[in-house]
Amino acid sequence: MSKLDLLVISAHAADYVWRAGGVIASYVDRNKAVKVVCLSYGEKGESAELWKSGKNLDEVKSIRRQESERAANIIGVPIEFWDWGDYPLNVDETRLMKLVRLIRETNPGVILTHSPTDPFNIDHETVAEVVRKASILSIANGVMPEIGVANQTKIFGFEHHQSEISEFYPDVIIDITGAFEKKRKAMECFQTQKHLIEYYSMRAEIRGNHARRISGLNKSKYAEAFTRVYPFVGDEFL
């Protein structure tokens, strides 16, 4: 039995909000079980304004954590911070097995994480690959036999900042119109990266336009897009 409907694995403190905040809020609003894990605070690579203002490493981490906690509170999702460091975010075997244990113990129906290609951010690519590896290990009977195996998990990748340059082609578009205001308020918590607030608001409008055009449903004003790691399986087209 799945303990989580949705597990979100985010490289940095804000990624989950920019790229999936609407979907997460929608799940929470429908009383789905959701959890966010941030592997780092993005303290080195995504906190330029704090460094320019003279903050030290511990201060940067603290501010980034506070921003992320406020955003998670607005969305209503529980969040963990693993503080693995960034730029680069390195994942050795011990860390990989911690991710395996997480997937085994929560047995999520869906994992949301980073898409494979992001030429502007090495951490995003690292996390995409390590989550894929962890998901494979989580269904192997001989790995961590003391914990029951997980089901084969559906994995979806975030839309990265520069879609075309990141070779991002959406496989799934999710309407977030009813949750967009929560996403917007959550994004506004990240004053460290406030230049991205309008960008991701516009991106949600663009994907909302695509959702209307593809579906014919005029209710879709805002949406988020994702790629699939594995093909859809079913006995009919939905």
Task: Identify whether 78 is part of a domain.
Answer: yes
CATH number at residue 57: 3.40.50.10320
Query: Max CA-CA distance within the chain?
Result: 58
Enter the tokens of residue 137: 């290990």
Task: Identify whether 157 is part of a domain.
Answer: yes
Q: What is the pLDDT of residue 1?
A: 55
Enter the tokens of residue 2: 């799945």
Task: Identify whether 56 is part of a domain.
Answer: yes
Residue identified by tokens 């990266």 is 193
Q: What is the pLDDT of residue 217?
A: 86
Task: Identify whether 237 is part of a domain.
Answer: no
Quick one: how far is CA 56 from the chain centroid? 27
Quick one: how far is CA 165 from the chain centroid? 19
Task: Identify whether 164 is part of a domain.
Answer: yes
This prediction has a pTM of 0.96
Task: Identify whether 238 is part of a domain.
Answer: no
Domain count, the chain: 1
Enter the tokens of residue 197: 């607030």
Angle at the Cα of 122 from the Cα atoms of 5 and 57, rounded to 5 degrees: 90
Q: Which range marks the domain in which residue 100 is found? A: 6-228
Q: What is the pLDDT of residue 20?
A: 98
Positions in the chain short of pLDDT 70 = 1-2, 238
Task: Identify whether 234 is part of a domain.
Answer: no
Task: Identify whether 84 is part of a domain.
Answer: yes
Please name the residue ranges forming H helices in 191-238: 195-215
State how beta strands 79-81 and 34-38 pair: parallel
Enter the tokens of residue 167: 């070779």
